[in-house]
Structure 1
Amino acid sequence: MSSAPTLDLICPGLLGPIPTLPPPFPKTPTLDRLLSRADKRAVLLTDPPAVLLAEFGVFDEPDRDFPTAPLCLLGEDPDADLDAWWMHADPVHLRADRDRLLLFAGAEIVPDRAEADALTALFNDHFGGDGLRLLAPTPGRWYLRADRRLDLRTQPLHRMLGGAIGDDLPGGLDANRWNGLLNEAQMLFFDSAVNRDRERRRRPVISGLWIWGGGRLPTLSGERPDLIVGDHPLTLGLARHASLRHLTLEQWREGATASTGRVLVYWDSLWTALQARDLPAWSRSLTDLEGRLAVTANQLREGGLARLVIDPCQGSRFQISRGQLRRFWRRQGLRAWLNVTSGQVNPDF
């Protein structure tokens, strides 16, 4: 007789940080019950992609980036030259603020398909002789192929959003060349027909590229999940690289799962909403997650699920089994764990 499956849920942004409680706060009785009755254990990793990659035996190395770019590209375009060295090269908007240069990305910045095609073609025509090729499988996520391994240490785009670039430009032995190239790309895009048109329409211009997460497809190790669920291209890339079954979040919401083994779910819409400073979207995602976890809690109660682990990517994991559901005296729910930043409301949120 096969044993019941287990479920590991990686859900960054579940516990914030948020600037204020949304009015009204979503009702989360299932999450309250699960979090309050679970065992809480400290963990080291808090960066969401790092937490996900660690499930496949890929860990941080001091002298190189996490190779998220080739894995995401595998998820978005499996026909690309995946033996090459790839970097994320996402389109960004740079804005001067006194003596600082602020970086922005996201829905307000993302080009449409025609704009992405025009800018990548412009880049490739200009830099093709340098062994570089820019690829945009989706308008908002671009990838840059280099003709050799590069010695660069970069900052992920999600750590830069809305902040000053400062000392966060690429470092490493190849940094001078690449920082010069990024400046050249900024000048190339500045005078493009795409940006002139965006200025006429009062849209933020595409000021340049932010490169990060470079490398080749990594070697995977350790005990892998039997099923991976998620909408982020990193989840599909990992599934393809490890020859695993993959489901979208919508398929998982509809009840599709595994009858045995370990299921790994990457629920990143809460985190995405916080990055976009969209508190209503965070509330909607929380309500959506609450609905799906009501099904999960029933599976746990009835023995159809052996164990649930919830990792909010804030230094702790919550683990709960069927027997722990009976801890009726524990009533500390989601709002008790939620990180509300000093009661201060961010005016940009």
Structure 2
Amino acid sequence: MALELQSVTKRVGGVLHIKETSLTLQPGHFNVLLGATGAGKTSLIKMMAGLDPIASGSVLMDGQDVTRLNTQKRNISLVHQFFINYPHMTVFDNIASPLKVAGMAKSEIAGRVEEAANILQLTPMLHRRPHELSGGQQQRCALARAIAKESRAVFLDEPLANLDYKLREELRAQLPELFAGRGAVVVYATSEPEEALLLGGACALMDDGRVTQFGPTADVYRNPEQLDAARVFSDPPINTATIIKQGGKATLGSGIEWALSGDAANLSDGTYTLAIRPHHVTPVAHAAGLVQLNGRVQVTELSGSESSAHFDMDLGGDHAAWVSLSAGVHPYEVGELHDFYMDPSQGYFFAPDGTRVA
């Protein structure tokens, strides 16, 4: 069952909040909405779920127009980042609640609840109430309710945002398996690029109320079509700077120059935006063909086996704030000048209007 958006828009106080959007989301894998806070992810989910009115356009489920149907008649499930469970009910009754509303037989309800509880390791807790559960267990209860309902569409709006790191990692790894083979369209909203990559499936990048790119997640990450898309799908932020292309060379600032190759070498002479991800800017020259940069270190971070440095480059009257992310521990000193090495073969080139050209 596909979920299709046909030119949908949303207005808030007369202002276009969701620009015209068309998407076809397929069952069988995750469909991720990736964007910063305020990009429109939750609004788009609420429109698909029937919780927010649509100013124009249509929503179709399996070819059926459900634009004017209320949420209850769409047979969907919605899991928020906040733990939404009925406090006066047991875990069993929380999971069973939508099945009871649907008038299902007690024997079938029991079977579905037991299956969902077993999948999410809640069986020993079925007689507890939500206040007796940890945060992770409460969110598992909400997920179990979505699984037991066997909805046509499941919307997960940053469901792991309020969990601690360990629980997030555990549930993130389990989620694709939980909904695999159930025939539902699964839509997962997140602001974290790493989470989108881990979940796989298809990804819709959102920025300022519009979808900037949609396709298989790995393809969208590797081949951003617009500068805005490259910015959305990068954490730490993607490095950008203006370069001048002349002949077979590119010039950055007042003296950083290198030979171009591939599609970039065939561009017309002119001004472009170079974008390169932080892990292609390193403090060590580990290969041939790297371009040496120099910047003053502003902030350093060490996380596990990786080091990052935020540094400011003087580009001859202009400045660029860049980030380096590399494996290992590196001895940065805040305030000191440091050499960095960029791999130009990993850069993206964008025209002045933001369109990818190489």
**Same-fold call, TM cutoff 0.5:** no
Q: TM-score range by the shorter chain?
A: under 0.3
Higher fraction of strand: 2
TM-score (structure 2 length as normaliser): 0.23
TM-score (structure 1 length as normaliser): 0.23
Ranked by relative contact order (alpha carbons within 8 Å, sequence separation 6 or more), the top structure is: 1
